[in-house]
Amino acid sequence: MEDFQTRLRSHTAEVEEIIKSFLPKEEGRLKTLLSAMNYSFLVGGKRLRPMLMLETYRLFGGDDPAIRNFMAAIEMIHTYSLIHDDLPAMDNDEYRRGKKTTWVKYGEDIAVLAGDGLLNMAFEIAIEGGIAAREMDRGLYALRVMAKKAGVYGMIGGQTVDVENEGKQLNLETLEFIHRNKTSALIEASMVCGAIIGGSDEATARRIETAAGDIGLAFQIRDDILDVIGEEEKLGKPIGSDEKNEHMTYVSMVGLEKANQRVKDLSEQAMQIIADIPHENPFLMELLRSLIEREY
Amino acid sequence: MEDFQTRLRSHTAEVEEIIKSFLPKEEGRLKTLLSAMNYSFLVGGKRLRPMLMLETYRLFGGDDPAIRNFMAAIEMIHTYSLIHDDLPAMDNDEYRRGKKTTWVKYGEDIAVLAGDGLLNMAFEIAIEGGIAAREMDRGLYALRVMAKKAGVYGMIGGQTVDVENEGKQLNLETLEFIHRNKTSALIEASMVCGAIIGGSDEATARRIETAAGDIGLAFQIRDDILDVIGEEEKLGKPIGSDEKNEHMTYVSMVGLEKANQRVKDLSEQAMQIIADIPHENPFLMELLRSLIEREY
């Protein structure tokens, strides 16, 4: 039997193919802008959000090509947020995943516009998906969820509170607010859109939302833990970089043991919610477990 | 009988009231972000886009409160584009309409996020409007039009080509591309959304789109003309500022006489399209004429 890493690779390739099919052609007067958008999108990463969406959709036995639009849209939203996050006025990051960030490669002006372009394009694609869904009420429900979770009362809100507290003493409540919005909100959007387009009823989608929120938070605390105990080469960034930046982390606030316990509690709760759903997707369970137990 | 300026004032007040009702409350953890969004939105201006939308809707005898959502959404899109446009990495403007720009007042990071927040919120509101429209197919049609015109193949595309050509020698074709996208695209979205939600058929909406595109271009050429012949105090910015910035204008390319002729041709074409529609809205006609013939 294949191991998880092999399955993960083939699932990632499948997701990549789907989301890439929505990228614009780099041609005409807008070639530079479109290249900057595609460059940022293709620098890649784990494609976690569209993968969670697809696997949650499959959990419910989904059979609607509109899921493809929502997968591309959520990854575009994630990508635009990274482009703007990396700007000199924000985190001022020059490299991401070993490659130059968008503003370094294309200039700050094009980076602002490429981010705007991806956010707008995400909505164009999600709107098409919502309208084309086999059951339009499901499509439009998913569209609303995605829009809300990406916005000021979701991801942008988390990002803002994070930026405002850079270098400041945080309390645990504020840190959880940041994680639950900056990170969890798009995980929630991914899994709820997957559930709804996949055929879930609304009450179940709300339970999925709770589980997704907890998974996002656990994922982020795990990230903080890895930053402390992780191995530099596996992680791809200097160990302790968050501490160096005077970034308050979960671990620095409650200690390693309590942080580990919190990850465990959140994960168990979340996994139980998914396990209680009377359908099965073993790969989704493996994937979720890998996010929480990952060592890289 | 009231004169046009009096009517314009009361129509502006009406539009203001509608669009302001969609602004978020400045409270909670996100107070600064929400204040920055509202500040930028309330710095104001002529509210031209939502006003054109409302009056086009009225031309077709519109009777659907969903128009309010689209009015707020288009103004939020316009506002976000100005916030990002003013950033140091873009036009580096410190004042707009006599007030500090968003990045000067709130910092560059919050300005980036406030722009993102307004764009996302515009979609949240337009999606609600699209779904709530009396005839949902009209609502969703308007939603798609707005999304497309705001995006890379619309406003963002025009903005990009403008930024890329800053200080460079332009040809007329490129300048028209910039104007038709940076300016006309949102005018088109405004009038087409107004027409569709107002009850127009698709073929008529397409004619409205053509007229709106020409009006946007005429408006922009008129802007260039005013920059040359305008009176400084009326315009509120130094005469010839575009030339100082080595910004190539329509007038500097073809001369004042041909520029005036082009405004006249575009306007006549556009006004004829509107006049041929078998409904009437005298205020819309006055408004359009004022845009093209304005002296401030």
Task: Test A112 with B89 for CB contact under 8 angstroms.
Answer: yes
Which residues of A fall within a CB distance of 8 Å from B111? Answer: 89
* Spatial CB neighbours of A133, under 8 Å, sequence gap ≥ 6: A64, A66, A139, A140, A142, A197
- Please give the average per-residue pLDDT across A280-289, as a whole number: 96
The complex scores an ipTM of: 0.94
Q: Which residue of A has its CA nearest to B165?
A: A29
Chain A residues with CB under 8 Å of B156 CB are: 33, 113, 116-117, 120
pLDDT of residue A241: 53
pTM of the prediction?
0.94
Query: What integer pLDDT is reported at residue B293 of this predicted model?
Result: 84
Show the tokens assigned to A235. Answer: 């992680």
Going from the N-terminus, what domains does chain A have, and what CATH number goes with each? Answer: 4-293 (1.10.600.10)
Minimum CA–CA partner of A151 in chain B: B120
Q: Which pLDDT band, with edges at 50, 70 and 90, does B240 fall under?
A: low
Share of chain B above pLDDT 90, in %: 83
Q: Which of A90, A111, A152 lies closest to B109 in CB terms?
A: A90
pLDDT digits (tens, 9 = 90+) for B198-213: 999 999 999 999 999 9
Picking from A169-173, A194-198, A241-245, which range would have the lowest pLDDT averaged per residue? A241-245
Q: List CB contacts (< 8 A) between A189 and chain B.
A: none
pLDDT at B244: 47
- Tens digit of each residue's pLDDT (9 = 90 or more) over A109-158: 999 999 999 999 999 999 999 999 999 999 999 999 999 999 999 999 99
Looking at every residue in chain A, the average pLDDT score rounds to 93
If we measure between CA atoms, which residue out of A70, A153, A112 comes closest to residue B109? Answer: A112
> B87 and A84 in contact by Cβ < 8 A?
no
Do residue B120 and residue A157 have CB atoms under 8 angstroms apart? no
A123, B77 contact by CB (below 8 A): no
Predicted confidence (pLDDT) at residue B103 exceeds the cutoff of 70: yes
The pLDDT of residue A151 is 98
Query: Would you place residue A244 in the very low, low, confident or very high pLDDT band (cuts 50, 70, 90)?
Result: very low
Closest by Cβ to B30, choosing from A144, A152, A174: A152
Q: What is the pLDDT of residue B111?
A: 98
Q: Do A33 and B152 touch (CB under 8 A)?
A: yes
How many Å apart are CA A48 and CA A54, to the nearest integer? 10
pLDDT tens digits along A11-27: 999 999 999 999 999 99
Chosen for mutation from B82, B136, B160, B162 (greatest number of chain A CBs closer than 10 Å) is B160
Shortest CA gap B152–chain A (Å): 6
The type of residue at A116 is: D
Secondary structure (DSSP) of chain B:
---HHHHHHHHHHHHHHHHHTTSPP--GGGHHHHHHHHHHHHT----HHHHHHHHHHHHTT---THHHHHHHHHHHHHHHHHHHHHSTTTT--SEETTEE-HHHHH-HHHHHHHHHHHHHHHHHHHHHHHHHSSSHHHHHHHHHHHHHHHSTTTHHHHHHHHHHTTTS---HHHHHHHIIIIIHHHHHHHHHHHHHHHT--HHHHHHHHHHHHHHHHHHHHHHHHHHHH--HHHHTS-TTHHHHTT---HHHHH-HHHHHHHHHHHHHHHHHHHHHSSS--HHHHHHHHHHHH---
Q: Do A109 and B163 touch (CB under 8 A)?
A: yes
Query: How close are the terminal C-alpha atoms of chain B, in Å?
Result: 24
Please give the average per-residue pLDDT across B157-177, as a whole number: 93
> Which tens digits make up the pLDDT trace of A91-105?
999 999 999 999 999
Q: What is the pLDDT of residues B28-45, one digit of tens each?
A: 999 999 999 999 999 978
In which band, very low, low, confident or very high, does the pLDDT at B182 lie, cut at 50, 70 and 90? very high
Residue in chain B closest to A155 (alpha carbons) equals B117
pLDDT at A295 over 80: no
Shortest distance, CA B29 to any CA of chain A (angstroms): 7
> How distant is the Cα of A10 from the closest Cα of chain B, in angstroms?
32
**What percentage of chain B carries pLDDT values higher than 70?**
93
For helices B184-198 and B66-86, the axis angle rounded to 10 degrees is 170
Name which of A131, A143, A159 is nearest B113 (Cβ-Cβ).
A159
Q: Do A156 and B33 touch (CB under 8 A)?
A: yes
Chain B residue with minimum CA distance to A24: B152
Neighbours of A233 (CB within 10 A): 8
Whether residues B30 and A157 touch (CB distance < 8 A) is answered with: yes
